[in-house]
Amino acid sequence: MLDMSERPDVLRVEGVSKSFHSGVVALEGLSLDVRGGDFISLLGPSGCGKSTALRLIADLLKPTRGRITWAGKQAAGDLGVVFQEATLMPWATVKHNVWLPFRLRGKTYEEVKDEVLEALKLVGLEKFQDSYPRELSGGMKMRVSIARAMVTRPRLILMDEPFAALDEITRFRLNNDLLMLKEKIGCTVVFVTHSVFESVFLSDRIVVMAARPGRIIQELIVNAPYPRDEAFRTSAEYAAHCREASDALHLAMEEPA
Ligand SMILES: Nc1ncnc2c1ncn2[C@@H]1O[C@H](COP(=O)(O)OP(=O)(O)OP(=O)(O)O)[C@@H](O)[C@H]1O
């Protein structure tokens, strides 16, 4: 595995705090370097500011203090976002949903058809390109949402508990497929989850957060090589990392308010 210090920076979060008008301090002093090829999970109890951190990185919120800087010049399409809900347009076909990020940049469907179909192929849905979201299962809708987030080949993909609403088997399958996709397109991911198991399976870095105020309390490295598969999921190494992450999460939940 590549030494993390050798990977190029994608984004730097420096001393970021976020308070809301309600007086809630959602995040305090968050610092994080995201490097090319990272799969980082933000793991923590409810209310520790995981979603707020993603929304700040996505520039949907402004920090109260601190700053977030992209390495190099940021271009349209550098960022892809996947939310817990697939948030598809119900009136549009699968392929037209995936076209959306290009459409917002003024590209016609014909201009980017190849990229759209390639993205659908990567998530295994090329046969459903003319279907409507209502015709798809929850897992398939999430695949469309992932295809839409990666169709522009962004430098960074943010995922906010994308599989939390899915049944366990579908979730495992999508975890496997997400790692396969990452290997194929070499993307960088920041992923929010409550699940120790999911964070260990997917990530090479797990950032454990505590609440009130939201902050990082520990960073764990999962140095198992990719690709990871069912053999990894049942290995002693996986179990040991899960124990370590679970201990860190318990500590996060015991931190005094
Ligand atoms: N727009 C807002 N206005 C006021 N308070 C907010 C807002 N958004 C989030 N908060 C508060 O900030 C804190 C962090 O919320 P956030 O949603 O980031 O946590 P989280 O770790 O993602 O939680 P969960 O795992 O439950 O989704 C919470 O106390 C929440 O109530």
Q: What is the CATH number of the domain that holds 32?
A: 3.40.50.300
pLDDT at 2: 43
The CA distances from residue 247 to 52, 80, 218, 253, in Å, are 24, 32, 11, 10
Asked if the structure places residue 167 within a domain, the reply is yes
Nearest CA to ligand 1 atom 17: 51
CA distance 256 to 220: 22
Helix axes 109-122, 168-185, angle to 10 degrees: 120
Tokens of 22: 């309600």
Distance 186 CA to ligand 1 centre (A): 31
Look at residues 99, 127, 153 and tell me which one is the last residue of a structural domain: 153
Closest Cα partner for 84 from 174, 187, 202? 174
**Which residue's CA lies nearest to atom 10 of ligand 1?**
26
Atom of ligand 1 nearest to the CA of 52: 18
Q: CA 48, 51, 53: angle at the middle one, nearest 5?
A: 85
Residue 214 maps to a domain = yes
Phi, psi dihedrals of residue 190, rounded to the nearest 5°:
-115, 125
Measure the CA–CA gap between 8 and 11, rounded to whole angstroms.
Answer: 9
Residue 38 CA neighbour count, 13 Å, CB half: 28
Tokens linked to 244: 């370590």
Q: How many separate domains does the chain show?
A: 2
Q: Whose CA is nearest to atom 2 of ligand 1?
A: 20
Taking the C-alpha atoms of residue 193 and residue 224, their distance in angstroms, rounded to an integer, is 19
Predicted-complex ipTM score: 0.96
CA of 61 to the centre of ligand 1 (A): 12
Instruction: Indicate the top mutation candidate among 17, 18, 22, 24 to test ligand 1's pocket, ranked by most ligand atoms within 8 A of CB.
Output: 24
Residue nearest to atom 27 of ligand 1 (CA): 46
102 plus 74 within the same structural domain: no
* Nearest alpha carbon, ligand 1 atom 1: 20
Task: Indicate if 161 and 149 belong to the same structural domain.
Answer: no
Q: What is the pLDDT of residue 95?
A: 97
Q: How far is the CA of 95 from the centre of ligand 1 (A)?
A: 33
- Residue 85 included in any domain: no
**Gap between the Cα atoms of 113 and 189, Å rounded:** 25
In a domain, 30, yes or no: yes
Name which of 43, 35, 40, 82 is nearest 203 in CA terms.
40
- Pick from 80, 49, 47: nearest CA to 63: 49
CA of 22 to the centre of ligand 1 (A): 11
- Same-domain status, 33 and 59: yes
Q: Which of 122, 153, 184 is the last residue of a domain?
A: 153
What domain range is 132 assigned to? 90-153
Give the β-pairing of 39-43 and 189-193.
parallel
* pLDDT at 76 (0 to 100): 76
Structure tokens at 72: 């190099």
For each of the chain's 257 residues, which pLDDT tens digit applies?
445 456 678 999 999 999 999 989 999 999 999 999 999 999 999 889 999 999 999 999 999 999 999 988 887 788 999 998 889 999 999 999 999 999 998 999 999 999 999 999 988 999 999 999 999 999 999 999 999 999 999 999 999 999 998 888 889 988 998 998 888 888 899 999 999 999 999 999 999 999 888 999 999 999 999 889 889 999 999 999 999 999 999 988 886 54
CA distance linking residue 212 with residue 256, whole number of Å: 8
| Residues 139 and 112 occupy one common structural domain | yes
Residue 84 falls inside a structural domain: no
- What pLDDT score was predicted for residue 140? 94
In this structure, the answer to whether residues 20 and 145 fall within a common structural domain is no
54 shares its domain with 42: yes
Strands 205-210 and 39-43: parallel
Pocket test for ligand 1, best of 21, 28, 51, 85 (most atoms within 8 A of CB): 51
The preferred substitution site among 21, 25, 42, 50 for testing ligand 1, maximizing ligand atoms within 8 Å of CB, is: 50
Ligand 1 lined by 213 (C-beta under 6 Å): no
Task: Outline where DSSP puts E strands in 100-164.
Answer: 156-160
175 CA to middle of ligand 1, Å? 25
Same domain (yes/no): 131, 183: no
